[in-house]
Structure 1
Amino acid sequence: MKKTRFSILCGFICVFTLLGCSDDNEVKISQGNNAAAIEHAESLDKQSYAGLEDIFLDTKNISTQEDKTTLLIFGKNNCIYCDKIKDDIKANSEIKSHLKSHFIPYYINVSYTKIHNLNFIDSKKELSTTALMESYVKSPMRPTPTLIFLNPKGESIFELPGYMNADSILKILQYMQSKQWQDKDQTQVASEINKIL
């Protein structure tokens, strides 16, 4: 009787072990064979800026150019002010025009993690979303939204933590476009921006 119970118990353990180990999907994803699943996971953040796909670029590859300033906007899910800044951009054709013409804009949703390939004038590197935010957002507690303007070398020109209305954002974009920030440190740039606001 004890041998029969033991045999049945061993049989159940073997069946559950075999069934539990047959998840082909997970093996394929971890081996990189399921490209569709990987692509889906990497594009989740694109839903964050729905309606602004013509403005914001895919954050998988973040780059700079000599003639344009790169703008990183860090946001997250369920952030009222992140949604408000996106709504302000959607509603203001002048802001959209400035972003398209004079900037390389990215909206980075920190609620999702992916690897970002950074291609700057003098360097190339890969950073996770968390590492990217830690590298550029220096404000205490790393608030969202936070706007970071980068020079062609990928160095921070100015950090704007928190929400600003559309008129203030437009003034900052015009200042950045004018290149008045060149050859100045972040303190000088912040002082000049405070004067125009």
Structure 2
Amino acid sequence: MKKIAYILCLGILFAGCDNSKIDKETFSTQSNISQEEIKKAQNLDEASYKGLEHIFSNTSEISSNGKFVILIFGKNNCQWCDRLKDDIKEDKSTQELLKKDFKSYYINLSYEKTHNVDFESKKEKVNSATLASQYNIRPTPTIVFLDKSGKPIVIYPGYLSQVQFKVFLDFIASGEYLKAKNQQEMHQMLQAKLQGE
């Protein structure tokens, strides 16, 4: 009886070890992932600015197209990021200013994404973390205002009310920032405008 049980166990063991059906199709490779799934993973961040797609461009391709550029760095569960986006949603005049003179991007640092950055002074392919480190992003939101060639004009860490945000937008779109001899003078000019809001 023990011999029969032993032979039966060996038979099951060898039947379970048959690897003749294992081939390269059995294992998942990146080539088996559909382009649609790859695109969906690359664009998870789009939900971050739902309702503002007419203001924020897809961050896969970041360029100026002859306009000033705004990069807003945010994260999921950031109450001030959400408040800034809600303020923009509610303020039609801010939306008009953004559409007229700026190319705007919302970069959600909760997701890793590849960005093709294409400015006169810089052309590169970078991920979200690298892009954030280039502008020394610490808190969220942080708003980076760039000129048409992609050079930083001013980087503002933190939330801006819509009144304050419009001061920044007007200051840059009007070219008034060009009157400053250096960064310190530009910050003083902005500070004076913000206090006079």
Instruction: Give TM-score scaled by structure 1 length.
Output: 0.84
Paired residue total: 188
Partner of 1:100: 99
Give distance in 1, aligned partners of 2:147 and 2:32: 35
Instruction: Tell me if the contact between 1:65 and 1:121 (Cα under 8 Å) persists in the aligned partners.
Output: no
Residue pair 2:121, 2:151 contacting (<8 A) in 1 also: no
Provide Cα deviations, 1:173-194, integer angstroms capped at 9, x if missing partner.
Answer: 1111111222644333222211
- In structure 1, what is the equivalent of residue 140 of structure 2? 144
Quote the residue 1:109 is aligned against: 108
Question: 1:127 and 1:172, CA in 2 relative to 1: closer, same or farther beyond 3 A?
Answer: same
Q: CA deviation at 1:50?
A: 0.5
- Answer yes or no: is the 8 Å Cα contact 1:157–1:189 preserved in 2: no
Partner of 2:78: 79
Structure-1 separation of matches of 2:7 and 2:182: 80
Corresponding residue for residue 37 of structure 1: 37
Aligned in 2, Cα 1:6/1:167: closer, same or farther, shift over 3 Å? Answer: farther
1:53 correspondence with 2:53: yes
Give aligned-pair identity as a percent: 35
CA contact (8 A) 1:150 1:157 kept: yes
Please tell me whether Structure 1 or Structure 2 has the larger radius of gyration of its CA atoms: 2
Q: CA deviation at 1:4?
A: 5.5
- What stretches of structure 2 of length at least 5 have no aligned partner? none
Instruction: Give me the whole-angstrom Cα distance separating, in 2, the residues matched to 1:158 and 1:3.
Output: 79
Asked if the contact 2:61/2:117 (under 8 Å) is kept, the reply is yes
Runs of at least 5 residues in structure 1 that lack an aligned partner in the other structure: none
Question: How far has the Cα of 1:7 moved from its partner?
Answer: 5.6
TM-score, reference length from structure 2: 0.84
CA distance in 1, matches of 2:32, 2:70: 31
Distance 2:10 2:184 in 1: 75
Aligned to 1:189: 186
Task: Provide closer, same or farther for how the CA distance between residues 186 and 38 of structure 1 changes in structure 2, counting only shifts above 3 A.
Answer: farther
User: For the residues of structure 1 that align with 2:142 and 2:159, how far apart are their CA atoms?
Assistant: 8
What is the CA–CA distance in structure 1 between the aligned matches of 2:77 and 2:7, rounded to whole Å?
58
* Comparing 105-114 and 174-183, the one that deviates more: 174-183
